[in-house]
Structure 1
Amino acid sequence: MSTSTTDVAASASDCAVPSFREATKVWARIGLLSFGGPAGQIALMHKELVEDRRWIGEQRFLHALNYCMVLPGPEAQQLATYIGWLMHRTLGGLVASVLFILPGALVMFGLSVLYVVYRHVPLIDAMFFGVKAAVLAVVVEAVMRIGRRALKNRVMIGIAVAAFLGIYLLRIPFPIIILAAGLVGWLGSRHAPAVFAGGGHGGKSQPADTHGVIDRMFDRGQLTHAIPSTRRTIRVVVLWLAIWLAPVLLLWLATGGSSLWTQLGTFFATMGVVTFGGAYAVLTYVAQAAVDSFGWLAPGEMVDGLGLAETTPGPLILVLQFVGFLAAYRAPGPLDPLVAGGFGTLLTTWVVFAPSFLFIFAGAPYAEALRGNRAVSAALSAITAAVVGVVMNLALWFAIHVVFREVRAFEFFGIGPELPVLSSIDWRAALLAAGAMVAMLRFKVGMIPTLAVCAAAGVALQMLPS
């Protein structure tokens, strides 16, 4: 055993610092293969960067991941940015992030164009009917996966239930739920640290840290950019706030505060800083605003967008790009609809992802200084538990709109849930959703095969009477 350990250590010590060109090739590979949502993307990065190349040690990788999970925005993209920044400073973080996003963004744009051009072709319509049922199974599977990791005791279960009731019955805004959960975790670290410790962010117990290239660079004092500096932090914050919000400000000055472009920019810029817990957690909030408040798309189309996003590499939050495309396509003004949709895609993608650069480049040095901080870990555990409740609400929202044709709001003093009209059940959608759940949860069929089979089954079932 000792020989094996020595060999591993020697092998790690022989690993050279990756060149910028070599790192770029690896980030491009990860971007092209990052299917399967955050869990699959993080697992791919772990294999490529920790296991195969040992560029970063196990514990430093997990610490970076935990920090990214605290942040709003897509944690997998932020993790790539963080590690790229550690190795090659700001340029490394930018390249890692852009290569992680770009393949999925291009595919999503192409799928959005095909969606609006061929959406009302009966065959395509029937395929999306099946995809919606599969998406419901994907979201339910996500609830179970996150729940197994996060709900380790009764307190965490209570936080998840409270979050579900808060957003479903009381319509408490999503950011408030997340902030409240973080506060509960922070206080819990002081009064009941054992209850809030280790919310399962590393999955199972992790082995001792494998000393990676980045760890050795840190030990030798080469990562000077990872040392907190107030002056540098102020420069980074000012620069990236300006870069992020400049397009929104210019659109507001050029088109006015009530224009579609200003609405898109301000709404999705807000989403860029409140999307705690990833795409699943925020989709209900986005769907309700996009459907009910702005009228950009119909409830069923939000499910269609998630189905398309599930088939692309890159962050699942790219579904917001689909919303921006449809909104601009349907209100193009003097532009060609497809050109307007392209601009809507570009604007939405920018304002959603740009804040991640600010969070990483300004905050990562302090995250490095806080490795092992119990209060941060406890707040993260509580937030993750709350995310389970929020995603449960998303699963219920999708189920109601997929399986039932009619939904009515039940309000009491201005608050209350949406309830389905039971007589409006679509047995075909219910059958497909049940089959997709059995396939994914019982027989562990992958997401892409399930989506494909359900699309084909949707075509067959649409030929039958409802």
Structure 2
Amino acid sequence: MSSCCYHFDDALALLRELGVPEVTKFKNRTAYTKKSASVSWRQKMIGGKSMSYSKEIYKEICLVFARLGLFAFGGPAAHIAMMEDELVTKRKWLTKADFMDLLGFTNLIPGPNSTELAIALGYKRRGKIGLFLAGICFILPAMTIVLLLAMFYKQYGEVPLIEAIFAGIKPVILAVIIQALFRLGQTTIQDVRSLLLFLAAWLLSLFGIGEITVLLLAGLAMLLMQQLSKWRTRHLAVEPMSLTLVFLTFLKIGSVLYGSGYVLLAFLQAEFIERYAALTSTQLLDAVAIGQFTPGPVFTTATFVGYLIQGVPGALLATVGIFLPSFLLILLLHPLFNKLRASKIFAGILDGITVASLALMASVSWQLGLATFVSWVSVILFGISLIALTRFKLNSSYLIIMGGCIGWLLTV
């Protein structure tokens, strides 16, 4: 009998260490026999099992976000759509509602939204270590690709085939975004007022109203509607920029920038052409184009610019500088976000922001569609991709590779 209790207690201790909530009620239970041997056995087994369990989760985080960083073409809207498909629909890391909450939260803070979302998802999955693993693995593939292209560009003055390949990828990306919009919309748009708010935010975005303005207006509008409802019912340099200056300039940009790649272009022009004369206008436009055409975060444009100014060290420091604020902001603000979510006022604002976030994705889809449907090939590619995604649940990475190959073949 005592031997049975001894093994039962060891099993309970192992399960508690692995985070199984159902056994926490047995936490005051003690072993009846062989206490010292029990402690030794328990330390070995629990330490080994929990360490193995943690390693598997860390490995999963690294592989998931590295693959997303390698295949996530098309800018933030596409990145968000692929994250939702991979982490909500397939891996069940979190619910659609929780995903939309994190999306609304990351839209409120400065920096690259999709990268911040990746960082926040890593934090939610495995705390601070998960935060850094997710962010680094999402950024690293894009940074490496952009750095190699920057070396090629500096040597030969151009980067061939990028536009042709991307022309084949764009229809696939559009299909991925549309699929995510429908899925997320089922959770976010559940009544007439959220539908009206979605349409209003979409129209404001199409008319060129800034993203942060749309988000804040939507948040306040939803809060007012909820309260009303409750009341009724109750700028070339002679001297090159130093490495320190490159780092600090990108650190400043990463700390205050809201919005898309076009907003990034404005910041880069003001700093590197008008203020420091470190680049030509052609170099800057090429840098932004590379950032747009390559997978992963658009802000890896910083890697390209840093390399043109100060080689590999400049590329690395520019990348760290522009992304560092995102890690720090999520690390500092995520715990506060969890507390604020319990507030009815903040919850109402966040509900409006999540609806507006979907509207901004829809606006990007509309603009991407206008730029994508320039031939019958792109229309067919879009149709095939949408059917493959929605009916056959085909992995979007394979479709992106297929689209890139077709775009390349059409130029041969």
State whether TM-score is above 0.5.
yes
- 2:177 partner letter: V
Counterpart pick for 2:326 among 344, 352, 366: 352
Residue 319, structure 1, aligned to residue 298, structure 2: yes
1:447 aligns with 2:389: no
| 1:28 aligns with one of 48, 59, 62 | 59
Alpha-carbon spacing, 1:75–1:261, altered in 2? closer, same or farther (3 Å): closer
Report the Cα distance in structure 1 between the residues aligned to 2:293 and 2:321, rounded to whole angstroms: 21
**Pair 1:81–1:135, CA change in 2 (3 A):** same
Q: CA RMSD in A?
A: 3.9
Q: Would you say the 8 A contact 1:131–1:458 is kept in 2?
A: yes
SS of 2:260 mapped into structure 1: helix
What do the CA deviations read for 1:421-445 (whole angstroms, capped 9, x no partner)? xxxx455445444443443345443
**Amino acid of the structure 2 residue aligned with 1:105:** I
Higher helix content, 1 or 2 = 2
Specify the alignment match of 2:184 in structure 1: 146
Equivalent in 229, 237, 253 of residue 267 of structure 1: 253
| Corresponding residue of 2:28 | none
> Do residues 393 (structure 1) and 363 (structure 2) align?
yes
CA offsets 1:285-329 (integer angstroms, 9 cap, x no match)? 322223466364357545413xx12xxxxxxxx332x22223333
Distance 1:384 1:444 in 2: 25
Give me the whole-angstrom Cα distance separating, in 1, the residues matched to 2:375 and 2:370. 11
Is the CA contact 2:172–2:400 (under 8 Å) kept in the aligned structure 1? yes
What's the CA shift for 1:185?
2.0
Aligned counterpart, 1:204: none
Q: How far off is 1:361 after superposition?
A: 4.1
Distance 1:126 1:426 in 2: 13
2:123 and 2:131 in contact (8 A); partners too? yes
Change (3 A) 1:292 1:168: farther
1:380 maps onto 2:350 in alignment:
yes
Structure 1 letter corresponding to 2:254: F
Matched residue, 1:297: 285
Q: Residue 453 of structure 1: CA displacement?
A: 0.8
What whole-Å deviation, never above 9, does each CA across 1:82-129 have from its counterpart, x for those lacking one?
Answer: 464xxxxxxxx3212112222222222222234445675655553333
**Cα deviations across residues 221-269 of structure 1 (Å, max 9, x unaligned)?**
xxxxxxxxxxxxxxxxxxxxxxxxxxxxxx99964xxxx6555333321
* CA contact 2:84–2:180 (8 Å) conserved in 1: no
Q: Aligned AA for 2:324?
A: W
Letter of the structure 2 residue corresponding to residue 192 of structure 1: S
Q: 1:97 aligns with which of 128, 131, 135?
A: 131
**Structure 2: distance between partners of 1:127 and 1:164:** 30
Displacement after TM superposition at 1:457 (Å) = 0.9
- Counterpart of 2:83? 37
SS at structure 2 position matched to 1:462: coil
Q: Where do 1:129-208 residues align within 5 Å?
A: 129-169=167-207, 171-192=208-229
Is the 2:169–2:407 Cα contact (8 Å) retained in structure 1?
yes
Aligned residues of 1:132 and 1:402 also touching (Cα < 8 A): yes
Match of 1:329 among 296, 304, 307: 307
CA contact (8 A) 1:133 1:433 kept: yes
| Partner Cα separation in structure 1 for residue 122 and residue 406 of structure 2 | 37
User: How many Å separate the matches in 1 of 2:54 and 2:231?
Assistant: 39
Q: How many residues align?
A: 325
Q: Is 1:456 matched up with 2:401?
A: no
Q: Specify every segment of 5 or more residues in structure 2 that has no aligned partner in the other structure, as ranges.
A: 1-14, 25-45, 69-81, 107-112, 233-240, 270-280
Higher relative contact order (CA 8 A, sep 6+): 1
Quickly say closer, same or farther: Cα 1:402–1:43, change in 2 above 3 A: closer
User: Matches of 2:369 and 2:101 in 1, distance apart?
Assistant: 32
Superposed CA offset, 1:327-362 (max 9, x none): 3334x1xx22x4322222221221233211110244
Aligned partner of residue 445 in structure 1, secondary structure: coil
Distance 1:459 1:62 in 2: 36
2:316 aligns to what SS in structure 1?
helix
**Alignment TM-score, normalising by the size of structure 1:** 0.59
Partner Cα separation in structure 1 for residue 85 and residue 376 of structure 2: 32
AA at the equivalent of 1:384: T
Match of 2:261 in 1: 287
